[in-house]
Amino acid sequence: MFQFINKSKNWVVTIVLAIIIGLAVPSLIALASSVIGDNMVITNPTEQLRLNYSVSTTTSFFTNEQGNFILTLSGGYGGLQIINNSISPNIVGGYSGNIIDDDLFESAILSGGFNGGANEIGVSVSVISGGAGNIIRNNVFPGDNGQGNIIGGGSRNKIQGSMPYGSAIVGGFQNIIGDGSDVSTGGNISFIGGGERNKTRGSSYATIVGGQDNIAWHYGFVGGGAQNVAGTSTKNYSVAVGGKVNTASGYNSMILGGDTNTASGTLSFASGKRAKAYNDGSFVWADNSNFDFLSVVNNETAFRSTGGVRFVTAIDGSGNATRTAQFATTGDLNLNGGIKLNTVTAKPACSSTYRGMFWVTQSTTDVEDLVEVCTKRADNSYSWKALY
């Protein structure tokens, strides 16, 4: 192999002229050496070509018995490899310690590595764009491959499982797709946008947009925030939009932000502060009071609003409220309007359950309506008392 150092490029003209006049190879070498002096040497036969700007600044080109192309830069810490494959070659760039396992195809490490660890790919049709210490690997059955994964960058991110495919980590730090003990089918078709120490678990289709220390299980979604959990190993399709320390652990449950909320009932919803939707179908909204606020029965809607509740049903031309209904902090109901009772169903028997209920019996034509209230009598019995 020949090493060319001369910067004047006179050797190019000399060699071209030598070829034109038909000199043999030994004469060509002698002639080129006479022109460029000791700038042309024969070196180690394993190095096929070296381009030198100076003694310390070089680029070397190799090929090995597998037909791999290797380019190394000064210092030997980084370069480029094109790894031969009968289907499609793999590309490894960046730090020299970056690795794509043998017998893979259509995979690439484009750059990065070294500070934070080498990048590694152990499945086919996968890409690591950059960063350091990022890994895409089958960590259960290394002899099997997954496909179609990508890590965009960041540091120490992992896509793993028994057959990881179709998953992506955009960036961030120590994010994992296919984390936990349930990795036999993990790492499939999941997404982590970024953030820090976020993890998807279960088999597939989990999404975490960002944030810190969040966990999403099978078909779960975490929008961000910190220490939020969507789903469990057996409860899927759950959502925690954001906030912190929220747990949407019920099947098809949802938490809309807030702090320390739980939605563990099936199709339950919680939001605010320390709202606990434990029952199936419950909807629990809690204000900023630092106490747990629990659902009581299935399919319940419960609000804790210690500052009162106000509904505006009409406004004027300036946007001012003209019709309101307000539950005051005293528990009183204040209305800017009347209350209409329109009871056309059968009147229930008066009992402790209906104590204090008003009832209007709508009469037929030419017969007066009857207005009654359910009350307790002196003998502790209950009966309807006519008011009109």
For residue 143, the model assigns a pLDDT of: 66
Q: How many domains is the chain built from?
A: 2
Residue range(s) defining the domain that contains residue 36: 2-47
The verdict on residue 189 lying in a domain is no
Q: How confident is the model at residue 47 (pLDDT cuts 50, 70, 90)?
A: low
Query: b/e string for 76-89 if b means 16 or more Cβ within 10 A?
Result: eebbbbbbebeeeb
Q: How confident is the prediction for the chain on average, in pLDDT?
A: 87
Tell me: the pLDDT tens digits for 145-179?
789 999 999 999 999 988 899 999 999 999 999 98
Beta-carbon contacts of 250 under 8 Å, excluding residues fewer than 6 positions away, are 235, 238, 263, 264, 265, 266, 267, 268, 277, 280
Average pLDDT over residues 246-251: 98
For residue 145, the model assigns a pLDDT of: 77
The verdict on residue 332 lying in a domain is no
| Residue 6 reports pLDDT greater than 50 | no
Q: How confident is the model at residue 57 (pLDDT cuts 50, 70, 90)?
A: confident
The verdict on residue 365 lying in a domain is yes
The verdict on residue 369 lying in a domain is yes
Tell me: the pLDDT tens digits for 221-235?
999 999 999 999 999
Tokens representing 350 are 């008066």
The pTM of the whole model exceeds 0.85: no
The verdict on residue 219 lying in a domain is no
Q: Say what the alpha-carbon torsion angle 5, 8, 9, 11 is, to the nearest 10 degrees.
A: -70
CA separation for the pair 293, 310 (Å, rounded): 20
Tell me: the pLDDT tens digits for 265-279?
999 999 999 999 999
Beta-carbon contacts of 77 under 8 Å, excluding residues fewer than 6 positions away, are 95, 96, 114
Percent of the chain with pLDDT over 90: 64
The verdict on residue 221 lying in a domain is no
The verdict on residue 162 lying in a domain is no
Average pLDDT over residues 274-290: 98
The verdict on residue 359 lying in a domain is yes
Last residue of a domain, one of 11, 29, 47: 47
